[in-house]
Amino acid sequence: MNSIFIKQTIKTIGAASALALGLTAPVLADGHGGKVKIGLITTLTGGGAGLGVDIRDGFLLGIKQAGNEGIDVIVEDDQRKPDIAVQVADKMIQSEKVDIMTGLVFSNLALAVAPATTAQGKFYISPNAGPAQLAGRGCHENYFNVAWQNDGPHEAAGATANKMGMKKAFIFAPNYPAGKDALTGFKRMFEGEIETELFTKLGQTDYAAEIAQMRASDADGIFFFAPGGMGISFLKQYADSGIDLPLVGPAFSFDQTILPAVGDAAEGVLNTAQWAPDLDNDASRAFVETFKAEYGRIPSIYAQQGFDTASLIASAAAKADVKDTDAFRAALREADFVSTRGKFSFGNNQHPIQDFWVRKVVKDGDIFTNTAVEVAIADRQDVYAADCPLKW
Amino acid sequence: MFQERTLDIFVLLILVIVPASAVVTDEPFTITLATRAVIFALAGVGLNLALGQGGLVSFGHAAFFGVGGYAMGILASHAQNYTPIMETPFLIEGTNSMPVIWLVAIVSSGLVALLVGALSLRTSGVYFIMVTLAFGQMFYYFTISWPAYGGEDGLSIYVRNQFPGLNTLDPIQFFGICFALLCIVLFLVDRLNKSPFGLALNGAHQNEERALTVGINVYRLRLVAFVISGAITGLAGALFADLNRFVSPTMFSWQISGEIMIFIILGGVARLFGPVVGAALFILLEHVLGGLSDYWFIYLGVILLAVVLFAKGGIIGKLAKREAGHGQ
Amino acid sequence: MNMLLLIEQILNGLQFGVMLFLMAAGLTLIFGVMGLINLAHGSLYMIGAFAAAAVAGWTGNFLLALIASMAAAAMIGALIELSVIRRLYDRDHLEQVLATFAMILIFSEGTRWVFGSFPLFLNIPDYLKGTVTLPGGIEYSLYRLTIIGIGLAVAVGLFLLISKTRVGMRIRAGENDREMIGALGVDISVLYTLVFALGAALAGLSGALVGAIQSVEVGMGEPVLILAFVVIVIGGIGSIKGALAGAVLVGLTDTLGRTMLPVVFGSFMDPSSATTVGSALASMLIYILMAGVLIFKPTGLFGGS
């Protein structure tokens, strides 16, 4: 009765993404698990659009490469507004009857959508945000995270700071929950002393005051978390300040989406992530090649996370029918896919157990990119897993 | 051309028929959209009282929308976790009862409006626009950095709050609640506009000096209007939070203040049903255009621009006969 | 906090204020002369930054990039003035808000359509990189000093333009009595287009100057727009002098608040909650300042009645 309506909405919604990517409509029917319908909500308009575009492109590439013909993806924009994200999620679940939700970039949006999704018996598989609330006591059997728990990259930065010989650190982050988590994560691994700790305004783009404090401080190194435009601004201003304290931070300020805009200012800086474009494994090499061929740019970690998320879903869909929730969940837990980051497995809270890498910003010809230096922390599982009651 | 009253009834009918037919065709999302439109309309009706009748262009109504939202979020999260809000000097428990939450939302946003209004009404014109914006921004930055209730992450309420005798999780029943509230508020605001209070308010808008000379305390009159206006928008905020089962500081952002204002201008300033038409149209545009392209904001922008340039007095002004008593 | 650091922070505040002034000057001029609330002013700032980034990318010449930023913003400014804005002068503020808000949507997504979703590169030219040592041993960024210089030069230029030239006389006349100046035979519509293009060029210039040390991305204009409004409202709308005073006041309040408040709270609270409370209050500070000023001076510091 309602199938006509559904087809129409898919046509209108899918049109934008299919048009942009030249994808053809997926073919129905599949030998193993039956049809899977995935709703991907991400940020495609406004200032944060770069990250969402990369997640979407990586994800769609992953689905296409998996060659699993029973998988259908609907893409929609959240305008980076939590209420829009919730509304679109409701639409996808209630009207379009998707089986799996994914795609959100920002933690505050994921916190709005993921609980609502799992409460309605659907899967939410996060390709980016990993807030602590969903990893510990608030974990859920239908919530998976393929990227990292939010603290991970910051903990790795703490470990890296130790290796760099940092003894007195100047640390700062924007004044919002993810910023506070960042400083907590860093301090968890950092063995030296914290010289100064401060919070900047969310969205702040002028760091002259903070840089003056750095100059006046006794610190021997700086840890910072400043995603997106905040990171571009800080790095450019810091490079111009003449201070030569070593920097370290999570990959969010050194990512492929913003490196071209930062330019020389980032060259040589160490940063931490679960992946780098030159990681030494076949899956990663193949992914970077095909992504470049398809979209004409080097993939960012967001693209890589989107790609791995798609690969994971495709691997589970090949084994189990998504309508059989228990079987599909078991298939997801096996994580039986070739991850672009090499080793990959899930902990009991369904967040990754993985290596975090130290990467270094290098100039390769005209292009700034990251090269993997060494493993910062091996087989890292987040600390919240212990609070998660899930057992399997 | 229609009589404005006829048009109003027609609008109400559409607002009922669309979700009702969505029940028949089993499209719960259409009901969600209609509910969203009704809630935004309510927020707009609130602002329209200050802006349309009183000529008080507030660019900070997101503050009241947000306070209403957080009234719901805070009460319901405490009920959800079984932790009291405070124990000394006396015990206050959380609650998940809608009527109680509404009452708290109305009272608290009204109180905030009293404070904001008392200070802002010392200014006028563009200064008033900007000082109300400043108050909205204060709330925004405060909630982002205030850790107790989630900061920028906001608060998730997993189950919609309850209303005696109804199943609020059923989309059409929740729509019914919101729609009923909108109708009640529309009725009351209409009565208010025609009361001596409303006439004095509008008179002070048209000609402040004359109002002063006939002995009207314009400041107090406007303050009362501003408080009622904020309280209505606060009620809408509580409903909005319940619709999403989620509150976050974005409810306080200046974009929300701007959107509520847009509903009014789109529909028709100082028209009773202006914000209702405006909100419904805006949601419809958002929904229809959103699928067209990644760059759909361009289309939205062009349409809004066209409305300002070519439909003076908003949609209702364009469609209805020139008989609206108030307005310019 | 030692004395040198305090002086450096005051310089930082001044520099931030001057950046805001460039943006606010155009806004206040447009409001003063034409009575228009222009929310799209932030888009002109963004257009300036993108034009500068594009031209710097092609030519590698920063000076050309600055010229391009002003030219592009002035051109687009004149274009929208001729096609849309001039229909709004006799409308009320509400309709102006909606129309210019619609323009923000068009410009933001249009820019993204042309330049893509990722931030662009724009850097300080080599000859302005690095720091200089000021008397007293303060090391300060040469580029930021340059911004202070350019900003003050623009301020002086605007004062001269308005007080000494024919165009300035007409602008002043237009502020006082719009019908009168038309009756005197001045072609007011040309004057309006000129003023709007001038304001746009200033916004474009400040976008390019700021873009070199910040991030050139879609949406960069709106936060600055809000701050610029705060500035002109504190200063008194329509007054260039007020805009300068307001800008410096906001710049100093924000910068000093950000650095001092956590220290102040730290003197009687434990460090971590002092940081949290201090930075929370710091982010609200300029709005508190603005509300405070308006409550005591309802038309701003230099505003008329």
- How does pLDDT run across A228-246, given as a tens digit for each residue? 888 999 999 999 888 989 9
Q: Which of A178, A185, A143, A150 is nearest to A388 (CA)?
A: A143
Low-confidence residues in chain C, pLDDT < 70: 1, 178-182, 184-186, 304-305
| C131-134 vs B246-247, strand pairing mode | unpaired
Give the tokens for residue A369: 């990119």
For A57-74, what is each residue's pLDDT tens digit? 999 999 999 887 789 999
Most confident of A305-309, B93-97, C296-300: A305-309
Q: What percent of chain A has pLDDT over 70?
A: 91
Q: What is the mean pLDDT of residues A176-201?
A: 91
For B173-224, what is each residue's pLDDT tens digit? 999 999 999 999 999 999 999 999 999 999 999 888 888 888 889 999 999 9
**C69 close to A (CB below 8 A):** no
**A260 close to C (CB below 8 A):** yes
Give the pLDDT of residue A14. 37
For B253-292, what is each residue's pLDDT tens digit? 988 999 999 999 889 888 999 999 999 999 999 888 877 7
**C114 close to B (CB below 8 A):** no
Give the CA count within 13 Å in the CB-facing half-sphere of B221. Answer: 24
For residue B284, list chain A residues with Cβ-Cβ distance below 8 A.
none
User: Minimal Cα distance from A197: which residue of C?
Assistant: C275
Q: What percent of chain A has pLDDT over 90?
A: 63
* Residue A334 or residue A366, greater confidence: A334
Mean pLDDT of chain A: 87
Sequential DSSP letters for C171-194: HHHHHH-HHHHHHTT--HHHHHHH
Q: What is the mean pLDDT of residues A126-134?
A: 91
Determine whether the interchain pair A82/B244 forms a contact, defined as Cβ–Cβ distance below 8 Å.
Answer: yes
Give the pLDDT of residue C5. 85
H-run or E-run covering B5: helix B4-24
Give the pLDDT of residue C181. 67
Q: Is the pLDDT of residue B23 over 60?
A: yes
For A:200-259, CB contacts with B below 8 A are 201-202
Determine whether the interchain pair B29/A95 forms a contact, defined as Cβ–Cβ distance below 8 Å.
Answer: yes
**C237 close to B (CB below 8 A):** yes
Give the tokens for residue A205: 């783009």
Chain B / chain C CB contacts < 8 angstroms: 133
B199-206: list long-range contacts, CB under 8 Å, 24+ apart: B201/B53, B201/B54, B201/B225, B202/B53, B202/B54, B202/B326, B204/B54, B204/B55, B205/B53, B205/B54, B205/B55
Give the tokens for residue C254: 């924000």
Determine whether the interchain pair B292/A111 forms a contact, defined as Cβ–Cβ distance below 8 Å.
Answer: no
Give the tokens for residue A344: 């990959």
Give the pLDDT of residue C1. 54
Determine whether the interchain pair C223/A203 forms a contact, defined as Cβ–Cβ distance below 8 Å.
Answer: yes
Determine whether the interchain pair B298/C298 forms a contact, defined as Cβ–Cβ distance below 8 Å.
Answer: no
The answer to whether C248 touches C15, Cβ cutoff 8 Å, is no
- Using CA atoms, how far apart are residues B294 and B269, in angstroms rounded to an integer? 32
DSSP state at residue A263 = G
Determine whether the interchain pair C223/A262 forms a contact, defined as Cβ–Cβ distance below 8 Å.
Answer: no
- Using CA atoms, how far apart are residues B96 and A207, in angstroms rounded to an integer? 44
For C:72-91, CB contacts with B below 8 A are 84, 87-88, 91
**A3 close to B (CB below 8 A):** no
For B54-89, what is each residue's pLDDT tens digit? 999 999 999 999 999 999 999 998 888 778 887 777
Give the pLDDT of residue A24. 37
Give the strand order in the sheet containing A100-102: A71-77, A36-42, A100-102, A123-126, A143-145
Determine whether the interchain pair C12/A49 forms a contact, defined as Cβ–Cβ distance below 8 Å.
Answer: no
For residue B126, list chain C residues with Cβ-Cβ distance below 8 A.
31, 37, 93, 233, 237
Look-up: residue for tokens 């090391």?
C139
Determine whether the interchain pair A49/C117 forms a contact, defined as Cβ–Cβ distance below 8 Å.
Answer: yes
Least confident of A127-131, A171-175, A235-239, C179-183: C179-183
For B:27-66, CB contacts with A below 8 A are 27-30, 32-33, 36
The answer to whether B53 touches B270, Cβ cutoff 8 Å, is yes
Give the tokens for residue A273: 């992530």
Give the pLDDT of residue C239. 86
Q: What percent of chain B has pLDDT over 90?
A: 55
Q: What percent of chain B has pLDDT over 70?
A: 97
Mutate to test the interface with C, among A53, A240, A258 (most CBs of C within 10 A): A240
Q: Which of A321, A351, A292, A340 is nearest to A133 (CA)?
A: A351
**C297 close to B (CB below 8 A):** no
* pLDDT confidence tier of residue B315, bands split at 50, 70 and 90: confident
Strands (E), chain C: 131-134, 138-141
Reported pTM: 0.86
For C45-96, what is each residue's pLDDT tens digit? 999 999 999 999 999 999 999 999 999 999 999 999 999 999 998 888 888 8
The answer to whether C73 touches C30, Cβ cutoff 8 Å, is no
C250, C254, C256, C257: CA torsion to nearest 10: 130
Give the pLDDT of residue A18. 39
Mutate to test the interface with C, among B309, B315, B318, B328 (most CBs of C within 10 A): B309
**B325 close to A (CB below 8 A):** no
Determine whether the interchain pair A212/C108 forms a contact, defined as Cβ–Cβ distance below 8 Å.
Answer: no
A322, A327, A332, A333: CA torsion to nearest 10: 160
Q: Which residues contact C203 (CB under 8 A, 6 or more apart)?
A: C22, C23, C26, C27, C41, C42, C44, C45, C48, C73, C77
Give the pLDDT of residue A13. 36
For residue B143, list chain C residues with Cβ-Cβ distance below 8 A.
none
For residue B138, list chain C residues with Cβ-Cβ distance below 8 A.
284, 287-288, 291
Mutate to test the interface with C, among B298, B303, B310, B328 (most CBs of C within 10 A): B298
For C163-179, what is each residue's pLDDT tens digit? 888 888 877 777 777 66
For residue B25, list chain A residues with Cβ-Cβ distance below 8 A.
1-2, 5
**A87 close to B (CB below 8 A):** yes
Give the CA count within 13 Å in the CB-facing half-sphere of A211. Answer: 25
Chain A / chain C CB contacts < 8 angstroms: 128
Determine whether the interchain pair A87/B293 forms a contact, defined as Cβ–Cβ distance below 8 Å.
Answer: no
Determine whether the interchain pair A1/B26 forms a contact, defined as Cβ–Cβ distance below 8 Å.
Answer: yes
* pLDDT confidence tier of residue A9, bands split at 50, 70 and 90: very low
